[in-house]
Every structure is written in C-alpha cells, then in structure tokens.
Amino acid sequence: MTDHKVTSREEWLATREALLVREKEHTRMGDDLARQRRELPWVRVEKEYSFETDEGVRTLAELFDGRSQLLVYHFMFGPSYEAGCPTCSSNADAVNGVVPHLNARDVTMVYVSRAPLEKLLAYKQRMGWSFPWVSSSSSEFNFDFSVSRTEEQTREAIKPMIEAGIPAVVNHLASASGTDVVGYLSEGPGFSTFVSDQGAVFHAYSTTARGLEFLMGYYPILDRAPKGRNEADSPLWLRRHDEYPQRAT
C-alpha cells in the first residue's frame, strides 16, 4: 500500500484550489520577470566575430538571417570533445521543433560551439536536428561571453573540486563527451540574446546554469508528474535520445 497521503475527492479539490492560487501567483511573477528582461539596457557589440557555418564564414550580424532578434545557445562541444554534452543535447531536442515558431516572431535561434564545424554537423545529423549550428573556433566569442575558458584557467578554477573529489556526474558527462574533466569543464552552457537595430548589433540578455531550465522541456513536464523529477536515486539518468535502453514489447 502506498505511503503517500490518500484522500477524498472533495478534500483533493480543496487542496488543489489552494495550490492553484500559488500557481497563478507564480505565473504573474513570471510575466513580471519577462517584462524586466525586456527592459534591461543593451550593450553595443563592437568586436567583429566570425563563425564557420555550412554556408561559409559569417559575421554575428549575418547570423540574424534577416530577422531583428538573435538567440544564441552556447552548446558544450569543445575542441577536445568527440560528442556533444548529453545535457545540452537534451535541451536541443526540446528546442529543435519550435524553431519555425520562433522564426515566425522575427527571431532566429542559433547554436554555437568551439568544436570544428565538421564535428558539429556530423553530430547534428546523428541527432536529427535541423536548427542552425555554427563553430566559433576562429573567434573569441565564447570567451567574451564567459562560457569558455582555456585549459590553464580551467585547471585553476577546478582545484577545489579536484581536492574534494570530482563528482560522479562530472566524470560521467566528461566521459560521455569523449574528453577528460578539464577538457569538459573548459566549456559551459549559456544562452545569450542579441538585437539588430539600424545596422548595429546589441547584446540584450544572458543566463546560464539553472537559468537554462526553460529550454529543457522535459523538466516542467516531469515537475507535474506524480513523482516529479525523481532524480535523488538516479542523478545520472539523462542520456542522449538515441542512448536510452529500449523497452521490450
């Protein structure tokens, strides 16, 4: 018998109504935060960045593809990686299908990594994605937006982690990406937005870490499942979509 509380339909409805009040408050708070993001001041991008694309070298301004807004996901796929980060790959699955809807609202979304373009395109084909993915290997773009570090900087930054013992999840993700811990942690995930106005490009917003959960479409769904994310006993559950074991039919 379950040890979870079981109640009558009438008591459930009353409890659900009380929770709904808080959910509506959360929604209104989210609306207010979205307004504050839109009101952030912009920073003009003065440096010239170049990107390798499947259509040749492009500038940051050219990545807008004729639209006024550009969203960039900084995907963890560094020069030493043999495959993309599984976590970044999971949110790419969720984003891939909505790109046409973003385009319809004057928004271009591009994925950017430091790995060579041929590696990115081969992995993109494996995963079945259609969004634009470009390499920033020839520019300082990822470094300037604080999502990449040199290996020397990384070794210095993770000294406390090494002394305390590398967490199992970090070892797992590094191994799954075909690199070592230093190579893996030389990259970080991030999301940056830009706007084009009268021929100039401006940086509008950036976030990282748990600020990226809005891209992970499976999490808000799991948050509404009876057991939630249920990660306490299986912190290493996340896989690329073609790596989950198949259930017998």
pLDDT given for residue 234 in this prediction: 85
pLDDT given for residue 248 in this prediction: 57
Task: Specify whether the CB–CB gap between 205 and 190 falls below 8 A.
Answer: no
Residue 249 has pLDDT above 70, yes or no: no
- Secondary structure (3-state) at 19: helix
Q: What percent of the chain has pLDDT over 70?
A: 99
Residue 232 has pLDDT above 90, yes or no: no
Counting beta carbons within 10 angstroms of the beta carbon of residue 136, is it exposed (0 to 12), middle (13 to 18) or buried (19 or more)?
buried
Q: How many CB atoms lie within 10 A of CB 139?
A: 19
Mean pLDDT for 162-187 is: 95
CA distance 157 to 65: 37
Instruction: Please enumerate, as own/partner, the contacts of 158-162 that have beta carbons within 8 Å and a separation of 24 or more.
Output: 158/182, 158/185
Higher pLDDT, 56 or 248: 56
Tokens of residue 81, six digits: 């990686």
CA distance 120 to 114: 9
pLDDT given for residue 1 in this prediction: 65
Closest CA to 40 of 195, 144, 212, 190: 195
Mean pLDDT for 91-100 is: 96
Residue 168 has pLDDT above 70, yes or no: yes
Q: Which residues pair with 194 in a beta bridge?
A: 70, 203
Span 121-153, pLDDT tens digits:
999 999 999 999 999 999 999 999 999 999 999
Residue 235 has pLDDT above 90, yes or no: no
pLDDT-based confidence at residue 246 (cuts at 50, 70, 90): confident
CA distance 174 to 123: 16
CA distance 130 to 151: 31
Residue type at 187 in one-letter notation = E
* DSSP one-letter string for 174-234: HHHTTS-HHHHHTB--EEEEEEEETTEEEEEEEE-GGGGGGG-THHHHHTTSTTTT--TT-
State the DSSP H helix or E strand holding residue 8, giving kind and residue range, or none if neither: none
- Secondary structure (3-state) at 128: coil
Rg (CA), the chain: 21
Where are the alpha helices (H) located in the chain, listed in sequence order?
Answer: 9-38, 60-63, 86-96, 99-104, 117-127, 141-144, 151-157, 159-164, 168-176, 181-185, 218-222
Question: Which domains, and CATH codes, for the chain?
Answer: 43-148+187-219 (3.40.30.10)
Positive or negative torsion for Cα 230, 234, 239, 241: negative
Mean pLDDT for 194-223 is: 96
Residue 2 has pLDDT above 90, yes or no: no
pLDDT given for residue 219 in this prediction: 95
Residue 202 has pLDDT above 80, yes or no: yes
Residue 31 has pLDDT above 80, yes or no: yes
